[in-house]
Amino acid sequence: MTLTHRFKLPFGLWFGLWLCLAALVCWQAWPQQIERGCWLGEWPFEAGCEAWPAKAERANTPEVFQRQLQANVGDAHSYARLAHAWWLNKDARALELLAQARKLAPFDPRLLPVLATSSLEQQNWPVAAQTLVQMVERGNVEARKPLMALMLNPATQDAVLAQLNANSRWLDVMLASIDPQSPPALLQRFVSEGHALGIVRTTTVLNMVDRLKRSGDWMDAYTLWVALRQKVGSHLNNPGFDQRSLRRGFDWEWTQQSAAKQGMRVNQVPASPQAGSMLEVELTARAALPQPMVSQTLLLLGERYRFKGRYMSDRMRTKQGLAWVLRCANGGDRWAQTPDLVETQRQWQSFEIEFRVPPECSGVVQLQLETAAPWEARAGISGVMYFDDFELAPLSTASAND
């Protein structure tokens, strides 16, 4: 008899040992399987379990998280969920647990609303601003409204501005979601500093410039425009039409009519044989003309100015033609205009006018291309007109009196 055969155990005994081992493993693993099923909401625990926390927020009482922490002292998520559950129940222990829970899970989405709300109630503006910014950057839409309230309040703006840095991703999101009724001037500091840091898109800045213009905050709008463009003309922007117009802000603007009812088409075309570009205004006579056809908002803080330029037209069918007119930016009648610009048979001609800025304009003027006779805008005009080499310069008192 060999040694192996001498110590061979009966099959029944081996089988019994394996069954005991399997039973021990099941006894150890079964509670964890139940806990996992409750957490994931798997069958038959779709509605959660009373004794274990669920991944969903339903049926989770504070007692469930307390029992979970007793069994798993280092469960950071359970600390966060217990603090949140106590907060919902208006339990004072929520704030006591908040500091400890944030050490374990500083950016837990359940803790941040608790911290933000408590900070707002205590008027702890720096902590409230920092927390709301963190929430917005993590996609919490509900945090936008209280954060915007802090941005619009002069007493709390500095706390929010302190959260700006070159890596901020929240500011452009907030500026893009401004309530149309919000005073845009209150947000200018955010746009200016955000643009300086390079964290605000050009489109966002231009939107703010246009909002400031519409609200009549002309100086704020122009200051922001200068910060955006960096290099601007002293009085007239892009006078030679050589740069592609943004068609907003303090640049040249015109209406883009639909193809079905298109009374005009405006383009910047090559000024060949000269260098650069010129403005082309093609009139179709198929629809009424918008008034103005082309315009630019000007900030003129002097008293008297001279405006001149060149124009050329082709096949113009009109009684009185077009004119560059001046109005106050806040509305009102024409108070200056060029001579009527009519047919030139493709020959360049010059125009020039001198004008005094009325006090009621407060230094903000609209230079506009309109029909010389208002009735012709309704009737429509056909032909093509080109403009180039504009110049707007202030006149000294002495030269104006000569």
Distances, alpha carbon 388 to alpha carbons 265, 279, 311, in Å: 17, 7, 6
- At 3 the pLDDT is 45
- Report pLDDT digits (tens) over 287-322: 899 999 999 999 999 999 999 999 999 999 999 999
Residue 43 has pLDDT above 50, yes or no: no
| Cα–Cα distance measured from residue 178 to residue 184, given in angstroms and rounded to the nearest whole number | 9
- At 137 the pLDDT is 94
- Report pLDDT digits (tens) over 128-185: 999 999 999 999 999 999 999 999 999 999 999 999 999 999 999 999 888 888 899 9
Instruction: Tell me the mean pLDDT in the region 238-251.
Output: 95
DSSP state, 363? T
More confident residue, 357 or 85: 357
185 burial type by CB count under 10 A (0-12 exposed, 13-18 middle, 19+ buried): middle
Which of the four pLDDT bands, split at 50, 70 and 90, describes residue 48? low
- At 130 the pLDDT is 96
Span between the terminal Cα atoms of the chain, in Å? 138
- At 73 the pLDDT is 58
More confident residue, 385 or 260: 385
- Report pLDDT digits (tens) over 356-401: 999 999 999 999 999 999 999 999 899 999 999 999 999 975 444 4
**Type and span of the H or E element at 262:** none
Residue 103 has pLDDT above 80, yes or no: no
Q: In 3D, which of 233, 214, 223 has the Cα closest to residue 196? A: 223
Q: What number of other Cβ atoms are within 10 A of residue 265's Cβ?
A: 15
Least confident among 51-60, 249-258, 277-286 = 51-60
More confident residue, 12 or 269: 269
Contacts for 189-196: CB closer than 8 Å, 24+ residues apart: 189/157, 189/161, 190/151, 190/157, 190/160, 190/161, 190/164, 191/224, 192/223, 192/224, 192/227, 193/161, 193/164, 194/164, 194/168, 195/224, 195/227, 195/228, 196/227
Q: In 3D, which of 298, 322, 317 has the Cα closest to residue 387? A: 322
- At 398 the pLDDT is 43
- Give pTM, 2 decimals: 0.76
- At 260 the pLDDT is 75
* Mean confidence (pLDDT) of the chain: 85
Amino acid at 366: Q
